Amino acid sequence: MNVTLLGSGEMTGVPPMFTDLESIGAERRRRRPGLLVETAAATVMLDVSPDVREQVLEAQIDTLDAAFVTHFHHDHAGGIDDLGLLVPHVGTDVRMTETAISHLRNEREYLVDDIDVETIQHGDQVTVGDLTVVPFPVAHGRPEFDTVGFAVYHEGTKVVYAPDVERFCPDRPAGAEYRDADLLFVEGSPILQEDLYDEIDFVEIVGEAAADRTVLVHVNEFFDGPTETMVETAEEHGFELGQDFETYLG
């Protein structure tokens, strides 16, 4: 299984408009969220960001069996137009929660007839080739957005993707799927900005996930500090800072 980070940034991307890399202390660009998982039998994308065209071209993706969306915020689903125009030609299976489908219908009605969207529920075991993808609930934007993370299984390896999360929900159905991953991609800003959530010890929350390897994503030097400081803070807690187009497995 090859796992490539397509985007480690958040809503604005890095650098945000009206800034540049040098002015915010960023060493390189960050696209909006996305993860690519590839095996000999399947190619899957998690989140479809506004930067999806560049991500597909840069990662040299020539086929896509399925796309899964965590929730319908712009930085996670803003590329659905680009993908939607091509879905009838490439046959990509698009899956998202019922709230995300509702937003798609309300905000992108012109795409509804072009995209064959299937609903995912917490705990579903979705098979794509030799991959199994399991959505699980996280706390973010509820109840308007039923935000989920994804656990991806392949031949005994577990990869978890939860790029936008305020808390995990271990007491809800399938809510403990984030735990015990070989590789965890998780929101980093609450770790890099210790006062972002006053009542939440996010370092402890992520530590309790007990992943073998944790990569911080959904970050932005404009808000979280220069890259050098972000790297140091991540490493202090035993984590890594994510980088676009780096392959973490494979």
**CA distances, 39 to each of 54, 55, 61, 228 (Å):** 21, 18, 12, 33
**204 found inside a domain:** yes
Distance CA 38, CA 24 (A): 33
- Does residue 33 have a cis peptide bond before it, meaning omega lies within 30 degrees of 0? no
State the pLDDT confidence band at 134, using cuts at 50, 70 and 90.
very high
Residue 198 lies in a domain: yes
Name the percent of the chain lying above pLDDT 70: 99
Residue 179 is part of which domain span?
2-244
- CA 174 remoteness from chain centre: 18
Give a yes or no: residue 129 inside a domain: yes
Q: Is residue 90 part of a domain?
A: yes
Does some domain include residue 231? yes
Mean confidence (pLDDT) of the chain? 95
198-220 in b/e form (b: 16+ CB < 10 A) is: eeeebbebbeebebeebbbbbbb
The answer to whether residue 249 sits within a structural domain is no
Q: Is the pLDDT of residue 89 over 80?
A: no
What's residue 116's pLDDT?
A: 82
pLDDT band, very low/low/confident/very high, at 66 (cuts 50, 70, 90) = very high
What angle is formed at CA 174 by the lines to CA 172 and CA 179, rounded to 5 degrees?
A: 105
Region 143-172: what's the mean pLDDT? Answer: 97
CATH value at residue 58: 3.60.15.10
Q: How many domains does the chain have?
A: 1
User: Can you give the pLDDT at residue 223?
Assistant: 96
Report d(CA 58, CA 155) in Å as an integer.
27
Q: Are 177 and 223 in contact (CB under 8 A)?
A: no
Position 140 in a domain: yes
| Position 140 pLDDT exceeds 90 | yes
Residue 199 has pLDDT above 80, yes or no: no
Domain assignment of residue 227, yes or no: yes
Q: What average pLDDT does range 97-101 have in this prediction?
A: 97
From residue 129, give the alpha-carbon distance in Å to each of 70, 89, 154. 20, 19, 10
